[in-house]
Amino acid sequence: MPWIHRESGSRSDTPSRCILGPMPDFPPFMTQPANRIAAASQLTDDIEGFVFDGADGSQVAFWTAKADRVSVPHAHDFDEYVLVIEGRATVIVGDTEVVLEAGDEHVVAKGTLQSMRVTAGTRTMHVFGGQRAKRAERRPALTLLVIPCSDLARASEFYAALGLDLVREQHGTGPVHYASKLSGVVLELYPAQLAGAPTRIGLRVPNVSAAVAAATKAGGTIRYLATDRPRAVVLDPDDLAIELTE
């Protein structure tokens, strides 16, 4: 059965038009970098994949083949469901080949030594009864920027004039400060004259332990390392505090 791609009109339940046939690609919300499958988990060259996890330990993966390719022979400790969305995929088990066209489904039993041949442009969905794919490590992302201010009132007025929505905060008995969220980054204004208010930044990294080890090897110093969650604070060679989280 072909895909039906509906584009909503003025009412959510009334499509303005209906397109029969395959969509040109997976929609953007399915291909976010955070769900990209790591190259080490790919069994086929020139293939792009994205994975989603089930609460029971299962996984759903979506792949797009960039060229005609055959995967390396492999077997899983769990069953695998395959649906061809577009193109052609051939499941190869020993001397048997099962050709799947768009809309065809197939189940590969656990423990079966298999490989798959795909044509360029083929898009498939796979549901695994276990953990099949690992996500690619993400690049570090800025999460926090703390700015020390000689005059907190004037500074908050200045940044508010730039359009920032500042919220007055105080953590326990700590100093009063202002915070604003900017596209995933928290910007905080602290009074510079108080202790603990130097400039510092926060980075989200794929692995805090690995980042701390790399930072200390490169000349950094550990100021704080949490034992109950992945969080650390390291000092760079100029004593700039960097908060690391995952």
From the list 205, 201, 204, 203, the residue with the least C-alpha distance to 145 is: 201
Of the listed ranges 8-12, 76-80, 151-155, 232-236, the one predicted with least confidence: 8-12
pLDDT band at 134 (very low <50, low <70, confident <90, very high): confident
- Structural domains of the chain in order of their starting residue, each with its CATH number: 28-128 (2.60.120.10), 141-245 (3.10.180.10)
Rounded percentage of the chain residues whose pLDDT exceeds 70: 89
- As a whole number, the mean pLDDT across the chain is 86
Residue 47: what pLDDT?
92
* Band of residue 198 on the pLDDT scale cut at 50, 70, 90: low
Question: What DSSP state is assigned to residue 155?
Answer: H
| pLDDT over 90 percentage in the chain | 44
Sequence letter at residue 204 = R
For 75-184, where are the E strands, in sequence order? 80-86, 88-93, 96-101, 105-108, 115-118, 123-128, 141-149, 167-169, 177-182
- The Cα–Cα gap between 22 and 15 comes to 17
User: What are the b/e assignments for 155-192, b being 16+ CB within 10 Å?
Assistant: bbeebeeeebebeeeeeeeeeebbbbeeeeeebbbbbe
Mean pLDDT computed over 38-64: 92
Separation of alpha carbons 213 and 216, rounded Å: 5
For residues 132 and 195, the model is more confident at 132
Which residues partner with 179 through β-bridges? 167, 188
The confidence score (pLDDT) of residue 141 equals 80
Query: What pLDDT is recorded for position 7?
Result: 43
Six-digit token string for 52:
């989603």
The pLDDT, as a whole number, for residue 118 is 97
Q: Which residue has the higher pLDDT, 205 or 131?
A: 131
CB 119 within 8 A of CB 140: no
What does the alpha-carbon distance between residue 238 and residue 163 come to, in Å, rounded to a whole number? 32
Condensed to tens digits (0 to 9), the pLDDT of residues 1-41 reads 344 444 444 444 445 556 567 788 899 889 988 888 988 88
Give the mean model confidence (pLDDT) for residues 88-117.
96
pLDDT at 57: 92
Q: What is the pLDDT of residue 80?
A: 97
CA pair distance 136, 51, nearest whole angstrom = 10
In DSSP notation, 158-189 reads HHHHTT---EEE--TTS--EEEEEETTEEEEE
Residue 184 φ then ψ, to 5°: 90, -5
Q: Is the pLDDT of residue 92 over 90?
A: yes
Q: Is pLDDT larger for residue 138 or for residue 33? A: 33
Per-residue pLDDT at 48 exceeds 80: yes
